[in-house]
Amino acid sequence: MQTNKNAQCKECLNKFYQKEIYTIQQFQYKEEPKYRWTLDFLKKLKIDEWDSFCEECIMIYSKKLDDAWNKQKSQVL
Ligand SMILES: [Zn+2]
């Protein structure tokens, strides 16, 4: 029986199994924004590539990212 949930989500601080943890590196597979832009944006939120998040919290950041990207796109036009 594997019971050691030793990975901690940086956002909600709950403990998870390592395999249930996500990092923002998965955002590099998004078509847009570009990963470079994503990193710069998240750096302002004090998040870097090695921070761990649970699925729920990574989805929240994914949404924040999309919102910020869409907002800045409309400002450029
Ligand atoms: Zn979390």
Q: What is the pLDDT of residues 60-71, one digit of tens each?
A: 999 999 999 999
Distance 10 CA to ligand 1 centre (A): 7
Distance 9 CA to ligand 1 centre (A): 5
Distance 77 CA to ligand 1 centre (A): 35
Output the pTM of the full model. Answer: 0.87
Distance 60 CA to ligand 1 centre (A): 9
CB burial of 46-72 (b: ≥16 within 10 Å; e: otherwise) equals ebeeebbbbeebbeebbeebeebbeee
Instruction: Name the token pair of 2.
Output: 């594997």
Distance 55 CA to ligand 1 centre (A): 7
Q: What is the pLDDT of residues 5-50, one digit of tens each?
A: 999 999 999 999 999 999 999 999 999 999 999 999 999 999 999 9
